[in-house]
Structure 1
Amino acid sequence: MSPNIGTVLVTGGAGFLGAQVVEAFASDTSCQQVVATYRQHKPTQISHHGVAYHVCDFSSRDAIAKLLKEADPDIIVHTIFPGAFAPRDIQYRVNYESTKHLLELALHHSKIRVFIYASTAEAVGLHSGFNTRPETEEEAVLCTLESGPNWYARTKGAADALVLASNHRERVSTGDYSGFLLTTCLRFPGIYGPKDKMITGNFYRLVNSPATRIQLGPNEAKHDWVFVDSAARAHVLAAKALIEGPRRDESMAVDGEAFFITDGKPTRLWDFTRLIWAEAGDRHWAGQGKVRRIIIPWWFIWLCVTLTGWVLTIVTMGLKQPQFSWRTFDYMRKGCWFSIEKARKRLGYEPVCDTEEGVRRAVEWFREYEHEKGYSKIQTTKY
């Protein structure tokens, strides 16, 4: 019998992942109420029937405290992040400080029992031999505020560690849950799917353009991906596992643990992009003929990135830094491959579908979206 998981608060509930998490909880009969937040009210804001929405500035501890008092949740699912290329101060304030405040307030709340953090594979430091086999949670080394390829990885890694360290099994009072909090981190690689403007959307917009023939690097590294429905489902599974309380068998523990959540089978970066292009009808990749690719080697990319950095530093007298650095490309170059056996065993997680089917569903959504808007990007793109 599925446990009653009560009221769930989803932060960032209007974002790409957050909105799907809200929908997953709202459609589950064991969930009594879903409360979601967004940063500011917009007439076109994503919303779901029956879900209570609150505007909350998570840079303010007082605003978070007010939200928790009004929402009075049993479970918090924290999905907010500012984007991988946001400035350093915003990364620190949103990824790390807001998570710290939310954890501290949740720990002393009389009703909150569970805290689930939407982390990222980029929070795990890359190392040599990273792509020769799937990495496990026990082997993973998190980035810290002092180490990591960029401030997104550093702040997400530091927040991930903070969430796990905030796990408190001992209940101080039988009257409420103050001082008691069960936490877990779900670590996702690239999340794609319908409404995804970052991965699916950016590659979809290149369909039938010369760019689909360009390849950065030799396409050797394996990359894990996760369909957004699978990512959302993992949050529901984690909530149900945690709300039951700590498990006696430590080999099946969920609280204080992290889990990699993926499609279960890695796909090389450029194989993944070509799945999107082929499904969308790209004239290069939808056919059976051999495509003449333009392969740009990593050494040339390194040279261009280095020169761009020097020029920008000189021109701006060091006031601006390039959005991309060589370290930015490490994730692409080295790849990411993670084992989901722990999630399968302890959460009962299975991907909703494989990557090929996930791409098909994502492209179908974009095609329907264009039709509703009365235009077709694919048909009008010209060389």
Structure 2
Amino acid sequence: MKVLVTGASGFLGRYVVDELLREGHDVFGGVRATSNISHLKEKGVGLVPFDLVDKDIMSSAVKGMDAVIHLAAYYTFSGKKELYQRLNVDATKELARLCLENGISRLVYCSSTEAMGPVDGIADETAPLRPVYEYGRSKAMAEAALSELASKGLDHVVLRPSGIYGPHNVDDVSYWFITSYGRRLATKFIIGTGKNRIQFVHVADVARAFSQALSSKAAKGRTYIISEGRSYTYEEVYAILGEITGIPPPRLHLPPLLAKVMIAPIQSFNSIIGRKDFMYRISTVDSVTCDRAYSIDRARKELGYEPRYDLRKGLRETYEWYVENGLIQ
């Protein structure tokens, strides 16, 4: 199958490309002029110009393809609402329209559990969408746009990965969390009770899910949460990091309000000097004091998805990669 992967040069993209190649697909990477394409060249992947802001380039990219996996997105800690709308919502809708127009057999879209926002208990795909960040809102809106086009014949599948981590991730929430711990910047306090739950997923598991969604007949029009099979409390995550790094986990608890007061001037300073640092943002306090726990039963039953990484195994592999590549010293 000829498959276009948008965002192929990114963190998740390189793993999805590799997985599709293992499955025998004819893979084409949708890339911008500024993309780092060294990995794609090494793999012999066909390169196709792709730009979320250029409809003509998108139209040319999908022509002759059998399927499209749409990973490219706008994501930053302090993004602008209009860019989320333009790049994550409008561009996705246009790409889906082009897929429909060109007879693409399937579009697999990378959404996020952030489209759901904080949850009560263990949430599945039927839970109401309550995103709290612009990124999550844009993903929820893009999902709605795809559902509208499904009524016109669009064959699509939506995957909602939770927090993705793994080697080669150098600018994401999990990257900041792991490296901050490794640098002893996040080892002094636990914000709140530490009992709130979070759920991660290794990038290789996500890549396999995209391959499964591409070929599953049962997946047409369906949405799937892609994650590890269980969630962890923040205390448990810190304990695992402590075991892996040899750095004792934090024992002192910091009330959320006090944490916000302490973080506010750091966030302001980082904003002035242009430094991106997820760990020192007031919104992070809110994030770590609510629950993000999910069920992957639907993906297991309908896709045959089964994660191969638990958090201990995956974090150890990721931490060692960061050390080997000088990101933690």
Band of TM-score, shorter chain: 0.7 to 0.9
Offset at residue 87 of structure 1 (A): 1.8
Q: Which residue of 1 aligns with 2:55?
A: 61
Offset at residue 208 of structure 1 (A): 5.1
5+ residue gaps, structure 2: 273-277
Structure-2 change in CA distance of 1:280 and 1:37 (3 Å):
farther
The one of 84, 109, 113 equivalent to 1:91 is 84
Q: Which residue of 1 aligns with 2:275?
A: none
Identity %: 26
Offset at residue 63 of structure 1 (A): 1.5
Cα contact 2:229–2:296 (8 A) shared by 1: yes
Structure-2 change in CA distance of 1:210 and 1:301 (3 Å):
closer
Q: Computing the radius of gyration over CA atoms, which structure comes out larger, 1 or 2?
A: 1
Q: Which residue of 2 aligns with 1:136?
A: 124
1:51 aligns with 2:57: no
Q: Which residue of 2 aligns with 1:24?
A: 19
Structure-2 change in CA distance of 1:204 and 1:125 (3 Å):
closer
* Equivalent position amino acid for 1:220 in 2: K
Query: For the aligned residues, what is the CA RMSD?
Result: 2.7
| Structure 1 segment 258-297 matched on structure 2, within 5 A | 258-282=223-247, 284-285=248-249, 293-297=251-255
The one of 193, 197, 200 equivalent to 1:225 is 200
Give the paired residue count: 318
* Equivalent position amino acid for 1:345 in 2: K
* Equivalent position amino acid for 2:182 in 1: V
Provide the C-alpha distance between the structure 2 equivalents of 1:209 and 1:189, rounded to a whole number of angstroms. 25
1:192 aligns with 2:165: yes
Q: Which residue of 1 aligns with 2:301?
A: 345
1:158 aligns with 2:153: no
* Equivalent position amino acid for 1:238 in 2: A
Q: TM-score, normalised by structure 1?
A: 0.75
Structure-2 change in CA distance of 1:364 and 1:304 (3 Å):
closer
Structure-2 change in CA distance of 1:199 and 1:153 (3 Å):
closer
Which 10-residue stretch deviates more, 202-211 or 156-165? 202-211
Runs of 4+ in 1 over 4 A off after TM superposition: 42-45, 302-309, 323-328
Structure-2 change in CA distance of 1:267 and 1:97 (3 Å):
same
Which structure shows the higher helix fraction?
Answer: 2
Cα contact 1:149–1:327 (8 A) shared by 2: no
Cα contact 1:230–1:351 (8 A) shared by 2: yes
Structure-2 change in CA distance of 1:161 and 1:218 (3 Å):
same
Provide the C-alpha distance between the structure 1 equivalents of 2:235 and 2:11, rounded to a whole number of angstroms. 23
Provide the C-alpha distance between the structure 2 equivalents of 1:211 and 1:327, rounded to a whole number of angstroms. 16
Provide the C-alpha distance between the structure 1 equivalents of 2:98 and 2:43, rounded to a whole number of angstroms. 28
Provide the C-alpha distance between the structure 1 equivalents of 2:185 and 2:110, rounded to a whole number of angstroms. 36
Cα contact 1:142–1:158 (8 A) shared by 2: no
1:121 aligns with 2:113: yes
Provide the C-alpha distance between the structure 1 equivalents of 2:141 and 2:108, rounded to a whole number of angstroms. 15
Q: TM-score, normalised by structure 2?
A: 0.87
